[in-house]
Amino acid sequence: MTTRLQHRQAGAFDGQTRLLLAVNGLFITAGALSGTYFGIYIWKASNDYIRLGWFTLITHVAMGLTFWIAGNAAKEGNKMILLRLGIGISAVFYAIVLLLKGNAVHYIWLLGLIQGMAMGLFWLAFNVVYFEVTEPDNRDRFNGWTGTIGSLVGIIVPWSSGFLISRLGGNAGYRIIFILSFCIFVAGIAVSFFLRNRRTKGNYDWRWPIGLLKDSGTSWRAVLGGLASQGIRESVFGVIIGVLIYVQTGSEMKLGNFMLVTSAVGFVSFLIAGKWLKPEWRNRGMLVGAIALVAAILPLFAGLSYATLLAFGVSAALFFPLYLLPMTSTVFDLIGRDEDSVQRRVEFVVARELALNVGRIIGMTVFMCTISVSKAPAVMNWLLLSVGSSPLLSWMFMRKVLAERVKGTRLDVKPKSIL
């Protein structure tokens, strides 16, 4: 059967791929505009890490359940509707925050549920469409571009938010960035109407993730372990670093400056890694990236300060693409290894996201349990080091899978016929 790979130059992006990058860019722009500071918004109202932890934990639980339940609609219905619902509910989230004003801190459970639903719907649809519009020959490049766009957004948007909050004053500044996020989400919905829905054959298998765990003859057991390990770090570091910077400096502008510098480094790093990282280099690249991410935490033991946090952020941004790109591309290559796997792409994406969210839930649970015992700087450092070492665990799970992809990169990854 004729494939898209035969109709376009190897590695090139078609119109649908570029549209998906645009939708992703708008979504992460809206999230970076307000999401970067939402944790601080909650922390300032409560001075309570545990309350912030509950919001994050509920978000991850709701996200995982949404992935699993909405998988049926993604396979047997129209995944574009799910994509727009995810963006729309994200807009509703910030509309509710605007209505609640200072009382938002008392509705953590509701906000966590809404945020989790929105993220689950969007990323389920996005990842399925991402798989459909990319091929093994351009997947690293696409991931490099998403990382590059994310870093470029990180350079401009959080700094702009911090500037607005600092210039207009806390409450007025936060209202402005929440309104702007709402408008950008609406723009994302408009652009998404130009994406085509590709029908998926067959019925949704609700038990697919459990079946993958039970099957000892598949690479997916190791992959799911690697993904769960990846989620452990994501959960904690995604929340705590921004709050720690605010606690150390008392300034949203300082957080904006932090994001500007680290995202600029990440921009260059993703651009280079996306262009030059080849499938045969993924195994060594991921190991180097994992080791570097752990080593980046060590400056914090010299004392928690803006300088040491910035040193951590720059180091992590520099090496994060080496860790993330091999992980993401290899997983999606596995989904596309043959026609049977392609027809189960929704189930595989659901399994991937469930594993990530299991790791995120574990990481946040460890964080909350530790913080409830002690908030001393030394305890915080060891917590960050232990949780931040999970990339090495992720590589240990993935190393054999990555090696197999090197041996059979073009033999066991078959082009797929989606259109």
Report the C-alpha gap between 89 and 116 in whole angstroms: 10
Report the C-alpha gap between 93 and 87 in whole angstroms: 10
CATH of the domain at 230: 1.20.1250.20
Q: How many domains does the chain have?
A: 1
Query: How far apart, in Å, are the Cα atoms of 222 and each of 162, 228, 329, 394, 395?
Result: 41, 10, 15, 9, 10
Total-model pTM: 0.85
In-domain check, residue 3: no
In-domain check, residue 369: yes
Segment 322-349, tens digit of pLDDT: 999 888 888 888 888 877 778 888 899 8
Residue-range definition of the domain harbouring residue 314:
16-193+210-407
In-domain check, residue 416: no
Alpha-helical segments (H) within 200-344: 208-214, 220-249, 252-276, 282-295, 306-335, 339-343
In-domain check, residue 60: yes
With a cut of 90, say whether residue 384 has pLDDT above it: yes
What pLDDT, on a 0 to 100 scale, did the predictor assign at position 288? 94
Q: Please say whether the beta carbons of 40 and 252 come within 8 A.
A: yes
Those residues whose C-beta lies under 8 Å from the C-beta of residue 106, and which sit 6 or more positions away, are: none
In-domain check, residue 2: no
With a cut of 70, say whether residue 276 has pLDDT above it: yes
To the nearest 10°, report the CA torsion of 210, 213, 218, 224: 110
20: left (phi over 0), alpha (psi -120 to 50) or beta: alpha
Segment 183-223, tens digit of pLDDT: 999 999 999 998 887 777 778 888 888 888 887 778 899 99
